[in-house]
Amino acid sequence: MKILLVCAAGMSTSLVVNKMKKALGPDEQDWIIEANPAERFSSIFKNYDVILLGPQIRFKKDEFEKMASEYDIPVGIINSVDYGLTNGEKILNFAKELYKNKNKN
C-alpha cells in the first residue's frame, strides 16, 4: 500500500511518517509512506492508495477529496491528538481502515 500524508510544511509530518514506518508489520515492510506539502497534491495524489491530511490543513479536505474520489482514493484527516503525539501506530491503523472501508460507502 502507498500512503500519502499531506501537510503544510512537513516538519512534524516527517516525524509521523517515521513512526508509521516503525509500526508496520512484517508483511507490510514494502509499504510506502511519504509526506508532501499541500502545494504538490494535484500532481502526485494519483500515485497513492490512501491520503491522510495533517490537522493543520483540514480545510483542504473537500477540495482534495473531490480530486481523489475520481480515482477511488480515500482521504481522511489525522486526529490532532494522534498527530501531536506522533502516534504512528494509531495513524497507520486509521489509514488501513480508510482503505478497507473505501468501497463500503
- Catalytic annotation, pick one of 7, 51, 73, 75: 7
- Answer yes or no: 7 catalytic: yes
Q: Name the pTM for this structure.
A: 0.94
* CATH code of the domain made up of 2-101: 3.40.50.2300
Using the predicted structure, report yes or no on whether residue 39 has a pLDDT greater than 90.
yes
Would you state the pLDDT for residue 99? 95
Residue spans per domain, the chain: 2-101
53-92 residue pLDDT tens: 999 999 999 999 999 999 999 999 999 999 999 999 999 9
Compute the distance between CA of residue 99 and CA of residue 85 in angstroms, rounded to an integer: 23
